[in-house]
Amino acid sequence: MHTDPHTPDLRPDSAAHPHGHRPMGHEAEDERPYGVEPEFVEEIVALLRARERDAVLARLEALHAADIADLIEQADPAERADLIDLLPAELDGEVLSYLNPDLREALIGRFEPQELAAAVADLDTDDAVELIEDLDAETRAQILAKLPDAERALVQENLTYDEDSAGRMMQRELVAVPEFWTVGKTIDFVRAATDTLPEDFYDIFIVDPMHRVVGAVPLSRLLRQRRAMRIADLVAGEVDVIPATMERAEVANLFRQYALVSAPVVDPSGRLIGVITVDDVVRIIDEEAEDDLRKLSGSGDTGVFSGIADIARGRVGWLTVNLATAFLASGVISLFEGTIEQIVALAVLMPIVASMGGNAGTQTLTVVVRALATHELSSANAMRVVGKELLVGLINGGIFAVMVGVIALLWYGPMIGIVIGLAMIINLVVAGLSGALIPLGLEKLGVDPAVSSAVFLTTVTDVVGFLAFLGLASAFLL
Amino acid sequence: MHTDPHTPDLRPDSAAHPHGHRPMGHEAEDERPYGVEPEFVEEIVALLRARERDAVLARLEALHAADIADLIEQADPAERADLIDLLPAELDGEVLSYLNPDLREALIGRFEPQELAAAVADLDTDDAVELIEDLDAETRAQILAKLPDAERALVQENLTYDEDSAGRMMQRELVAVPEFWTVGKTIDFVRAATDTLPEDFYDIFIVDPMHRVVGAVPLSRLLRQRRAMRIADLVAGEVDVIPATMERAEVANLFRQYALVSAPVVDPSGRLIGVITVDDVVRIIDEEAEDDLRKLSGSGDTGVFSGIADIARGRVGWLTVNLATAFLASGVISLFEGTIEQIVALAVLMPIVASMGGNAGTQTLTVVVRALATHELSSANAMRVVGKELLVGLINGGIFAVMVGVIALLWYGPMIGIVIGLAMIINLVVAGLSGALIPLGLEKLGVDPAVSSAVFLTTVTDVVGFLAFLGLASAFLL
């Protein structure tokens, strides 16, 4: 099926998607048509152990850089180093930029600064910046010193912007033309300037004499027009301009909101200084979603490729906070030691009230945190959502009050059934309200609701759960 | 700053991004340069209540369809209906396709089938399909009957594919040319065929006489070449072909893996039948990340725009499962009623052991579930991750055993401190192991680990936590 007359050229600057021999349409349907299979990883590992250097190289040649990065990720640590050492120099940059950041940091020491500088020089500015931003100051300076002057200036300028800003992630290579050019002149310019252009681009930006953006023309629209047409006449509506200081999460929201493929980045005076393309945004959307997940669960910023000490350290903070709140809950229980001594059934049943509250609250919390992150929720509709959660808490509180109450009644008698049912309603209503109000309040205070909401929530549901159940029991059962 | 000589044209088919008067580079930095501000929503709502129809329309005209959708989402339910009724007919389709699906379902009843058919006919197939797939069979049939024959056939064919498949989400409008064409002929074709082409496209697909894909050429590469060049000579490497039956989550992974902007969709015989573009993939990546979050928290498939009954119903299932596991934990506690009666401190302290285990396990679980979803984790490196989590559990178990032990010792004496410390180590090791092994095991069994892992995990950490603490206490303290 593949009739490409060329041998695939693997140099990173030669092709947008220099893909290798992945299976295509005629494959078995349950096979993943991309990435590397575990069997392939095992084959490569076996070859590496047998020191079959050439056989490994032959297999690597057919792979996309993203797949080589996957292969390195899936291999054992010992083989990872071997693979990196084997990598042809012209692949270094692209493979490194696809590699999981934790692993990249661990493996980058295997390269000489000279090699890294060559790898970085092959990349577009955004990928180059990503590669060197995590290096220690000394290595970074060594690499920068070895870059061509023009490239070094651009990379250094990107590095002056905040880590999570549009300026840090933008690519400097772009196509900008003056307003008075025609479609024909623009096409001729692109044909002639082939060396200084980005590898791929999707929009041509139109700038005024001060280099401020006045419009953007998608390539598919340019291509449809006669050569004599003025390019400025192809602009429809205003262009979405990204200030270099914009946070990357907001950049992602902007791309998502207007289904953009690329957008210009401007400095404070409105001058065009770079471009952000959707492939970087896809990565960010992914990382932001993962960040939210990790923050909600308190997993720290470590992943499956982090070192053991980093993982353990990253999680201690959250567990310590959780310990403090657990002791707070214990303090509440200890107020009722006398009651528990008389009715030991309370000790048996009390975790149910707290646990149901925690789970119900987390359900609300997840939805609200996510809606805040995607701007579906704002002060305009917040109170409606809180009202809804109050009612949902009442409805589900009622349902589970009956269920828990009946079981407790069969187990320990009618009075305990009534007490635990009432406590359940109270805690589920409080859980629904807290699940909505805690993240909304934190957002209002300028605190990221994903990070700290869950601690506050479980503190509330534990304390209220134990207090309601043991308090009602003290009042009605003694 | 805006020098576009045209009045922005708002018809949906006239411009890729017909953006309105959003602030640009010169705005205050903390202002969101997109979307609608709460003050703007309030202004519109006030105008609607004052029946200032024309003033509202004037403000809507300057807005992007995505922002009108946002406005509808943020308004009160009563104003939502008013806004929908006010909407100019030519905007209906695009605004509806940007609207949150829950709200769309609620509001679509305000349109006559005739209006909906006109709106659907304005859209590309993928957006048209998304709009009608959730309608009841009768309305859907009414709309389909009113569509032009060619469009109806395409929409109906997309609907034959599974809801979460590439075939359902693909767009049928695309640019395909034969292998022997030149760059010049391709450009002339695009210029002439302007009516039948998609609104935006990023790659030109090259097909053989059987209409099978043999390559893809990004527009930026086409534009750089001389007219006489054969287009087939511009293909580099194989093209990523998507079988129409591929699941959309896998489509998203494929785009992410190779940083694609568009990819061809083929039928089982390899014939080109559609295209998927990155803007749809961005939406899917978002939805999949949100799905994972909701599944992990058991929030059901409802969001902030769902009805109260739907939300309550969507959450009951998970809470019921949680109730069952909570009773299981209670059962374990009840085995030690005699012990608790003698040492009531155990009732005070036991939630700490269970809670710390649950939290530590969730940290591991989150990382592992996410790594499985993004294919960073596979059978090739699974056991290394399990080993790491075992060690992290031991390290953090040790740290928190000391912290909790010391506090318990000061509170209730040395023996209780030792017992709770030991129980803490046991439960944190079990939590780390379960957090990794449960999702890995479910994945192996073909069950989505995001859905059910958390229940199994908290069951394990609760049961083991109570059993270890109360069991050790019975053995050593009585």
Q: Tens digit of pLDDT for each residue in A332-345? A: 999 999 999 999 99
Q: Which residue of B has its CA nearest to A311?
A: B392
Q: What is the pLDDT along chain B (478 residues), one digit of tens a residue?
A: 333 333 333 333 333 333 333 433 333 333 445 678 888 888 898 998 898 888 988 888 888 888 899 888 888 888 888 888 888 877 778 888 888 888 888 888 888 888 888 888 888 888 888 888 878 888 888 888 888 888 889 899 999 999 889 999 999 999 999 999 999 999 999 998 867 788 889 999 999 999 999 999 999 999 988 999 999 999 877 788 999 999 998 899 899 888 899 999 999 999 999 999 998 898 888 888 778 778 878 887 788 888 888 889 989 988 999 999 999 999 999 999 999 999 999 999 999 999 999 999 999 998 898 888 878 888 878 898 899 999 999 999 999 999 999 999 999 999 999 999 999 999 999 999 999 999 999 999 988 888 778 888 989 999 999 999 999 999 999 8
- Angstroms from A392 CA to nearest CA on chain B: 5
Nearest to A294 among B214, B250, B366 (CB): B366
Give the pLDDT confidence of A228-278 residue by residue, as tens digits.
Answer: 999 999 987 778 899 999 999 889 989 988 889 999 999 999 999 999 999
Q: Would the CB atoms of A243 and B360 count as touching at under 8 Å?
A: no
CA B67 from centroid of its chain's CA atoms: 20
Q: Would the CB atoms of B297 and A362 count as touching at under 8 Å?
A: yes
3 state SS of B411 = helix
Q: Report yes or no: B259 and B282 within 8 Å, Cβ to Cβ.
A: no
Q: Which residue of B has its CA nearest to A232?
A: B4
Chain A interface test: which of B72, B254, B344, B458 (most A C-beta within 10 Å): B344
Residues of B in contact with A289 (CB under 8 A): 285-286, 289-290, 292-293
Query: Does residue B467 belong to the interface with chain A, where contact is any CB pair within 8 Å?
Result: no
Q: Give the mean pLDDT of A128-134.
A: 85
User: Which residue reads 């959660």 in tokens?
Assistant: A389
Nearest to A285 among B27, B266, B282 (CB): B282
Q: Which residue of B has its CA nearest to A301?
A: B367
User: How far is B262 from B126, CA to CA, in rounded Å?
Assistant: 14
A41-55, A181-195, B101-115: lowest mean pLDDT where? B101-115
Compute CA distances A379 → A362, A439, B42, whole Å: 21, 12, 10
How many CB atoms are closer than 10 A to CB B414? 11
Q: Would the CB atoms of B297 and A194 count as touching at under 8 Å?
A: no
The pLDDT score that the predictor gives to residue A415 is 94
The pLDDT score that the predictor gives to residue A4 is 35
- Angstroms from A344 CA to nearest CA on chain B: 6
What SS3 string covers chain A?
Answer: CCCCCCCCCCCCCCCCCCECCCCCCCCCCCCCCCCCCHHHHHHHHHHHHCCCHHHHHHHHHCCCHHHHHHHHHHCCHHHHHHHHHHCCHHHHHHHHHHCCHHHHHHHHHHCCHHHHHHHHHCCCHHHHHHHHHCCCHHHHHHHHHHCCHHHHHHHHHHHCCCCCEHHHHCECCCCEEECCCEHHHHHHHHHHCCCCCCCCCCEEEEECCCCEEEEEEEHHHHHHCCCCCEHHHHCCCCCCCEECCCEHHHHHHHHHHHCCCEEEEECCCCEEEEEEEHHHHHHHHHHHHHHHHHHHHCCCCCCCCCCHHHHHHHHHHHHHHHHHHHHHHHHHHHCCHHHHHHCCHHHHHHHHHHHHHHHHHHHHHHHHHHHHHCCCCCCCCHHHHHHHHHHHHHHHHHHHHHHHHHHHHHHHCHHHHHHHHHHHHHHHHHHHHHHHHHHHHHHHCCCCHHHHHHHHHHHHHHHHHHHHHHHHHHHHHC
Q: Does residue A9 surpass a pLDDT of 60?
A: no
φ, ψ at B277 (rounded to 5°): -110, 160
Residues of B in contact with A214 (CB under 8 A): 1-4
Query: How much of chain B is in helix, strand and coil states, percent to nearest 5?
Result: 65, 5, 30
Q: Would the CB atoms of A214 and B1 count as touching at under 8 Å?
A: yes
Compute CA distances A261 → A222, B368, B423, whole Å: 15, 31, 54
Bigger pLDDT: B180 or A113? Answer: B180
Pairing of strands B203-207, B176-178: parallel
3 state SS of B256 = helix
Q: Would the CB atoms of A219 and B215 count as touching at under 8 Å?
A: no
Query: Left if phi > 0, otherwise alpha if psi is -120 to 50, otherwise beta: which for A95?
Result: alpha
pLDDT class of A11 with cuts at 50, 70, 90:
very low
Q: Would the CB atoms of A351 and B354 count as touching at under 8 Å?
A: yes
How many CB atoms are closer than 10 A to CB A475? 10
Query: Does residue B290 belong to the interface with chain A, where contact is any CB pair within 8 Å?
Result: yes
Q: Report yes or no: B166 and B265 within 8 Å, Cβ to Cβ.
A: yes
Q: Does residue A3 surpass a pLDDT of 50?
A: no
Compute CA distances A475 → A412, A417, A472, B45, B436, whole Å: 17, 14, 5, 50, 44
pLDDT class of A398 with cuts at 50, 70, 90:
very high
The pLDDT score that the predictor gives to residue B33 is 52
Averaged confidence pLDDT in chain A: 86
Residues of A in contact with B233 (CB under 8 A): 5-6
Query: Does residue A340 belong to the interface with chain B, where contact is any CB pair within 8 Å?
Result: yes
Q: Report yes or no: A249 and B22 within 8 Å, Cβ to Cβ.
A: no
Q: Report ipTM (2 d.p.).
A: 0.79
Residues of B in contact with A332 (CB under 8 A): none
The residues pairing with A243 across neighbouring beta strands, listed in sequence order, are A266
Residues of A in contact with B352 (CB under 8 A): 323, 326-327, 329-330
Question: Helices B278-297 and A345-373, interaxial angle, to 10°?
Answer: 170
Q: Report yes or no: A448 and A402 within 8 Å, Cβ to Cβ.
A: no
Chain A interface test: which of B21, B323, B400 (most A C-beta within 10 Å): B323
The pLDDT score that the predictor gives to residue A33 is 52
Burial class (CB in 10 A: 0-12, 13-18, 19+), A139: middle
Compute CA distances A190 → A154, A176, A197, B221, B385, whole Å: 22, 10, 8, 10, 49
Residues of A in contact with B20 (CB under 8 A): 237-238
User: How far is A382 from A388, CA to CA, in rounded Å?
Assistant: 10
The pLDDT score that the predictor gives to residue A178 is 96
User: How far is A51 from A31, CA to CA, in rounded Å?
Assistant: 30
Give the pLDDT confidence of A70-110 residue by residue, as tens digits.
Answer: 888 888 888 888 888 888 877 778 888 888 888 888 888 88
Q: Which tokens in the block code for residue A251?
A: 């950049």
Q: Which tokens in the block code for residue B23?
A: 């602030």
User: How far is B407 from A5, CA to CA, in rounded Å?
Assistant: 74
Query: Does residue A222 belong to the interface with chain B, where contact is any CB pair within 8 Å?
Result: yes
Residues of A in contact with B245 (CB under 8 A): 29
The string of DSSP letters for B142-184 reads: HHHHHS-HHHHHHHHHHHTS-TTBHHHH-BS---EEETT-BHH
Nearest to A215 among B4, B378, B395 (CB): B4
Query: Does residue A143 belong to the interface with chain B, where contact is any CB pair within 8 Å?
Result: no
Beta-carbon pairs below 8 A across chains A and B: 512
Q: Which tokens in the block code for residue A81?
A: 């180093």
Q: Report yes or no: B236 and A6 within 8 Å, Cβ to Cβ.
A: yes
Query: Does residue A208 belong to the interface with chain B, where contact is any CB pair within 8 Å?
Result: yes
Pairing of strands B203-207, B213-218: antiparallel
Q: Residue B264 belongs to what H/E stretch?
A: strand B262-266
Chain B interface test: which of A48, A212, A261 (most B C-beta within 10 Å): A261
- Where is mean pLDDT largest: A31-35, A124-128, A150-154, A334-338? A334-338
Q: Give the mean pLDDT of A119-142.
A: 85
CA atoms within 13 Å, Cβ hemisphere of A198 = 24
How many CB atoms are closer than 10 A to CB A291? 17
Q: For a pLDDT cut of 90, what percent of chain A falls above it?
A: 44
Q: Report yes or no: B65 and B94 within 8 Å, Cβ to Cβ.
A: yes
Q: Would the CB atoms of A74 and B378 count as touching at under 8 Å?
A: yes
3 state SS of B402 = helix
Q: Report yes or no: B24 and A263 within 8 Å, Cβ to Cβ.
A: no
Instruction: Evaluate the CA torsion angle B81, B95, A166, A304 in order and state its sign.
Output: positive
CA A6 from centroid of its chain's CA atoms: 37
Q: Which of A284, A283, A271, A287 is nearest to A174 (CA)?
A: A271
Non-local (6+) Cβ contacts of A330 within 8 A are: B348, B349, B351, B352
User: Which residue reads 């970087």 in tokens?
Assistant: A280
Q: Would the CB atoms of A34 and B254 count as touching at under 8 Å?
A: yes
Q: Would the CB atoms of B214 and A362 count as touching at under 8 Å?
A: no
Query: Does residue A43 belong to the interface with chain B, where contact is any CB pair within 8 Å?
Result: no
pLDDT class of A18 with cuts at 50, 70, 90:
very low
Domains within chain B, CATH numbers bracketed: 38-164 (1.25.60.10), 176-277 (3.10.580.10), 308-477 (1.10.357.20)
The pLDDT score that the predictor gives to residue B112 is 83
Q: What angle do CA B270, B276, B278 make, to 5 degrees?
A: 145
Residues of A in contact with B326 (CB under 8 A): 351-352, 355-356
Residues of A in contact with B349 (CB under 8 A): 330
- Angstroms from A197 CA to nearest CA on chain B: 10
Q: Classify residue B234 by its DSSP letter.
A: G
